[in-house]
Structure 1
Amino acid sequence: MKHHLIFTAVLAATLYSCSGPQKPVDMTDEKKKTESKFEIGTVSEKAMSSYVRLPGQLKPFNEVNIFAKINSFVKTINVDRGTLVHKGQLLAVLEAPEMASQVQSAQARFLQAQESANASREKYRRLKEAAKEEGAVSPLDLDNALSKMKADQAVVMSERSNAASVSDIQAYLNIRAPFDGMIVQRNVSAGALVGPGKSTDQPMLVLQDTRKLRLEVMIPETYVEKVDLKQKVSFVFNALPGQENKAYISRSANALGTQRSEAIEVDVNNKDQRLKPGMYGEVKIPLVFGAKSLLVPNNAIVRSTERQYVIKVVNGKAVYADVKEGIAGDESTEVFGNLKAGDRIVLHAGDELKEGESIK
């Protein structure tokens, strides 16, 4: 019983000391005080030069899909994939049996027209000689003979053109290289039926000129007017890391495509054939900015699915200002919108800060 009373007294003393005048610290108020303070920055204005990194793809300087001009069969094919060819080299020979008869028929009509024209010319010559004697030949007969001679000569010219045209078509049975290059595709073999094709059809052969390549880069609409044509672009290919190359922009499309971007091309020499069409690389396009570029810290831009904006501090209140982003740097971004140099803006802002809310 005595031990029980002592334990009760000790417990009561302990509870009394815990319930003394010292109160626990309220951390909630301190947190609210910290969150109520916003970091403020300013809009700066300066001219700057920079660059943008964009992907580029190599394309052959010249490329052609080779189709047959007329319906025919492949008689022989003299090249294969990877074959280096020269301009005018015979790539394949086609055959079309009906073409031989067409050529013979055209030549026969031409010879017949020539004979008729010769006979008309001789008849007119004789009548003209006979007309020298008064009353031997009537003027009407002489005029008719002259007209017949001219008509037959016109027929000769027509048949000559027709025969030449058929001969030219027959020459299409010999497929020749239009320029120096390499065969990169061969889709037919001897005996195959070929004919005129559409762009969606499979060609007989694909010829590419790879001694010089085109590096094609698509410039987004935002950067189109800022490309500095006076400086060289630098590029590195994924297949050859560490080997940086530099060259000037050779040409541009001067029009925006379906993806709201403009295509530019850089000519790349490839005499050693190390580079291949289709290779991708990273291209650094030099850019130049105007003298009145407005820059804001990267963390000042608030982005949502509906808009992007910065929060200005006007008379101690938050004011939303919609912006459009330009070139982004490591620390700041070019913006366009209802801003001016020196405007105070909220850094690290978010959509939890409502428009019109007081900023302390």
Structure 2
Amino acid sequence: MRQTLYALILLSAIMGGCSHSEKPVDMTAEKTAAGENFETGTVSEKRLSSYVRLPGQLKPFNEVNLFAKINSFVKQINVDRGSVVRKGQLLAVLEAPEMMSQVQAANARYLQAREAANASREKYRRLKEAAKEEGAVSPLDLDNALSKMRADEAVVLSEQSNAASVRDIQSYLNIRAPFDGMIVQRNVSAGALVGPGKASDQPMLVLQDTRKLRLEVMIPESYVDKVDLKQKVSFIFNALPGKENKAFISRSSNALSNQRSEAVEIDVENAGQRLKPGMYGEVKIPLILGAKSLIVPNNAIVRSTERQYVIKIKNGKAVYADIKEGIAGDEQTEVFGNLKTGDQILLHASDEIKEGQTIK
């Protein structure tokens, strides 16, 4: 029994010694071999196109505040807020009782002047006929009659013009739409007293043409001369997220405002009437730089809390090159540092690649 126990102890000691003699497997070679499959690129030099994000606001393509031309009362109003109207459509009828008397007085003066002119013309004709007999009419009387006829004819023209002017003023009592559009404000009702207004006064009606809108963007002074007019502007609206639109800049003010910015406009079609004046959007204005810059792919830049760098490949070794970033594009970035055109760099670089590491 005791011999059997000694044999078991000796067997356990032998097995323990064998297990401690095993060595760990070295995986470094496998990791190194796997890490040598690098993707490379080159530093290029070109003019970098970029963009700036700016807010924009939709405005109606045409908008007008409708006022009364003369002091009058609203007799009839044919539209309300939201009414779609056509050019020339009668929107409201006004009444001014004193206008009828003014029209009648102007017509009466015109008729009086015309009758006086007819009498002068007839008198001159008769004197001229009588003057055919020598000594019947003096030349002075004939000249006076001619002058009186011409003066009366001039009065007729003046009174005719005055009567037409009064009739035109009377036509202002009918308020008509100056263009196709929609009534967005109605501020009066029948019986209201209205009259000529200033810009600060409340209009009778506000008419907007919203079939096409203007997207107004204010370009800061520092970007004014860098806007690339050959590229389309892209924009999205906060009320319609996810739908990107593109269009060319339609017009610009060519002048800076008090805020040191230039207003540009983009025409936006609105056939479905989904867009409304006053909506805000985010606009990407394409820019182009005047000078050529060194460009690297975005995924070649390694960023840490201490530095920014790219990894150059020089004589098969990894060499860190510190950089400073300039304007960033969607796929490429402008860089400044110890680089030159044609330098070979690592793509998808990371800080796991050590300086001096062999790159094959």
> Fold match, TM over 0.5?
yes
| Structure 1 residues 330 and 145: alpha-carbon distance in aligned structure 2, compared to 1, 3 A threshold | same
Q: Does 1:207 align with 2:201?
A: no
**Deviation string, structure 1 residues 132-169 (Cα, Å, up to 9, x no partner):** 00000000000000000000000000000000000000
Q: Secondary structure at the match of 1:241?
A: strand
The runs of 4+ residues in structure 1 deviating greater than 6 Å are 328-335, 340-343
Higher mean Cα deviation, 83-92 or 285-294? 285-294
Match of 2:259 in 1: 259
**Counterparts of 1:1-360 in structure 2 under 5 Å?**
47-292=47-292
Q: Mark the runs of 5 or more structure 1 residues left unpaired by the alignment.
A: 1-43, 300-325, 344-360
CA contact (8 A) 1:294 1:341 kept: no
Q: What is the letter of the counterpart of residue 168 of structure 1?
A: D
**Deviation string, structure 1 residues 284-326 (Cα, Å, up to 9, x no partner):** 111100125699x9x9xxxxxxxxxxxxxxxxxxxxxxxxxx9
| Structure 1 residues 122 and 293: alpha-carbon distance in aligned structure 2, compared to 1, 3 A threshold | farther
| Structure 1 residues 222 and 112: alpha-carbon distance in aligned structure 2, compared to 1, 3 A threshold | same
Whole-angstrom distance in 2 between the partners of 1:62 and 1:333: 42
CA contact (8 A) 2:45 2:294 kept: yes
| Structure 1 residues 168 and 274: alpha-carbon distance in aligned structure 2, compared to 1, 3 A threshold | same
Whole-angstrom distance in 2 between the partners of 1:327 and 1:156: 76
Whole-angstrom distance in 1 between the partners of 2:144 and 2:259: 70
Match of 1:4 in 2: none
Whole-angstrom distance in 1 between the partners of 2:213 and 2:106: 46
Offset at 1:118? 0.1
| Structure 1 residues 330 and 242: alpha-carbon distance in aligned structure 2, compared to 1, 3 A threshold | closer
Whole-angstrom distance in 2 between the partners of 1:235 and 1:159: 60
Whole-angstrom distance in 2 between the partners of 1:329 and 1:85: 47
Superposition CA RMSD, Å? 2.5
| Structure 1 residues 222 and 327: alpha-carbon distance in aligned structure 2, compared to 1, 3 A threshold | farther
Identity across aligned pairs (percent)?
A: 84
Q: What is the letter of the counterpart of residue 124 of structure 1?
A: Y
Whole-angstrom distance in 2 between the partners of 1:328 and 1:92: 57
Q: What is the letter of the counterpart of residue 234 of structure 1?
A: S
Match of 2:352 in 1: none
CA contact (8 A) 1:67 1:196 kept: yes
CA contact (8 A) 1:45 1:341 kept: no
Higher gyration radius (CA)? 2
Whole-angstrom distance in 2 between the partners of 1:45 and 1:260: 33
| Structure 1 residues 149 and 46: alpha-carbon distance in aligned structure 2, compared to 1, 3 A threshold | same
Whole-angstrom distance in 1 between the partners of 2:140 and 2:255: 68
TM-score normalized by structure 1? 0.70
Q: What is the letter of the counterpart of residue 82 of structure 2?
A: G
Offset at 1:47? 2.7
Offset at 1:48? 1.1
Whole-angstrom distance in 2 between the partners of 1:241 and 1:212: 20
Whole-angstrom distance in 1 between the partners of 2:330 and 2:173: 62
| Structure 1 residues 173 and 294: alpha-carbon distance in aligned structure 2, compared to 1, 3 A threshold | farther
**Deviation string, structure 1 residues 243-301 (Cα, Å, up to 9, x no partner):** 11110100000000011000000000011111100000011111100125699x9x9xx
CA contact (8 A) 2:48 2:292 kept: no
TM-score normalized by structure 2? 0.70
Aligned length: 269
Q: What is the letter of the counterpart of residue 187 of structure 1?
A: N
Q: Mark the runs of 5 or more structure 2 residues left unpaired by the alignment.
A: 1-43, 296-300, 304-325, 340-360
